[in-house]
Amino acid sequence: MRVPFLELKRESERHRTELERAIARVLARGWYILGPELEALEQEFARYLNVPFAAGVGSGTDALSLALEASEAVRPGEGDEVVTSVLSAAFSALAILRAGAIPRFADIDPATLQIDPRCIETGFGERTRAILPVHLYGHVCDMRQIGELARRHRLIVIEDACQAHGSRLDGNALGTFGFAAGFSFYPTKNLGALGDAGMVVTSDEGICLRVKKLRHGGQSRTYYHELPGCNSRLDEIQAAVLRLRLETLEAGNDTRRHMARAYDEAFADLDLTLLPVRPGLEPNRHLYPVRTRRREELRRYLSDHGIETLVHYPVPLSRQPALSRFVLPGQEFPVAERAAREIFSLPLNPELTEAEQQFTIEIVRRFFQK
């Protein structure tokens, strides 16, 4: 048996008719940019999260950088700093750079692998203006402590919710705890487009209006450019596809949770560290990371049996050539360094068959029992 980590074609084949119908609707209208599909998607996604405002943009990276820029907490090119998690997709930090600010890093909590509030202050420089916590794997950062820290130092919080579509803490959707949040609709996310797309959500109408201006060249009206904006629009075809897929997001997340429970139970007695779920958190199970000192050996064993796994992420941002110069003198990240050597993700997505998951479970168990 071959178990792919994620095979996007399975979903698009299964929903081919509906997808083609959604795309045909846009073709028939002949309106491709900033039209009725995007407006409807913004409303529907905002309603789904229970947040007042949403603005569709070209990617998750742009959602984060435009949210930062629109918040006016960082002034481009002035040396303002934003602290984020050292263990994330590099795009979290690249978005800070794109907004004209300087990324700084904080180490992670050894159990949850999320940004450690106790380490955030070590990432503070002279001009820290914001914190960009990343809800990694669809789990949740300690938003209470991060909120307190932000209040004490008068910082704003922009959530990187690019992996957190539909995760809830005490019933509230992730992405609604900060000043604003950025979501990604990259094809592999729980809510994915057929290309690049992203969304800023916020309870601040001013931020939403500024993002909408910035994404469209900073125009206040056609051909009048008030702000030095960019071109980052979520197009009508992607919006139509995302509206369709939003309808099945909850069901997909439920399937993921069901699968995660099956893994949790099957691995409970093994020498394999699972990610704990914080009380009150309903994770969307974007990824299913596990942790072991024997990672390389186990990944090879799984690969030899046709099971594909990935590492999220193998290199902490502090050691990425593009970002290492932003590490403060003397700053170290021992927890993230160790995690980066021990974590990897098992296949988990709504298209994975029960037989594939059972096979994966069997091979993991066989590895520890041999």
Ligand X SMILES: *Cc1c(COP(=O)(O)O)cnc(C)c1O
Instruction: Give the one residue of 65, 92, 284, 349 binding ligand X; rule: CB under 6 A.
Output: 92
Can residue 82 be called a binding residue for ligand X (CB under 6 A)?
Answer: no
DSSP summary character for residue 328: P
Q: Tally the C-alpha atoms within 13 A of residue 211's C-alpha that lie toward its C-beta.
A: 32
Cα dihedral 304, 306, 312, 316, rounded to 10, equals 30
Can residue 69 be called a binding residue for ligand X (CB under 6 A)?
Answer: no
Nearer to ligand X, 71 or 184 (CB): 184
Degrees, nearest 5: CA angle 356-360-361: 120
The tokens describing 219, both together, are 């125009």
Nearer to ligand X, 59 or 176 (CB): 59
Q: Are strands 81-85 and 128-132 parallel, antiparallel or unpaired?
A: parallel
Going through 196-248 in order, the beta strands assigned E by DSSP cover 198-202, 219-221, 224-225
- Would you give the end-to-end CA distance of the chain in angstroms? 20
Q: Are strands 288-291 and 343-346 parallel, antiparallel or unpaired?
A: antiparallel
Can residue 134 be called a binding residue for ligand X (CB under 6 A)?
Answer: yes
Can residue 88 be called a binding residue for ligand X (CB under 6 A)?
Answer: yes
Can residue 167 be called a binding residue for ligand X (CB under 6 A)?
Answer: no
The site for ligand X, by CB under 6 A, has a size of: 15
Can residue 163 be called a binding residue for ligand X (CB under 6 A)?
Answer: yes
Can residue 198 be called a binding residue for ligand X (CB under 6 A)?
Answer: yes
Residue with structure tokens 């904080």?
A: 106
The tokens describing 104, both together, are 């700084």
Instruction: Give the one residue of 46, 59, 98, 168 binding ligand X; rule: CB under 6 A.
Output: 59
Segment interacting with ligand X (CB under 6 A) among 23-31, 104-112, 156-164, 247-255: 156-164
Can residue 112 be called a binding residue for ligand X (CB under 6 A)?
Answer: no
The least distance separating ligand X from the CB of residue 221, rounded to whole angstroms, comes to: 29
Can residue 91 be called a binding residue for ligand X (CB under 6 A)?
Answer: yes
Residues lying near ligand X in the complex (CB under 6 A) are found at 59-61, 88-89, 91-92, 134, 160, 162-163, 184, 186, 196, 198
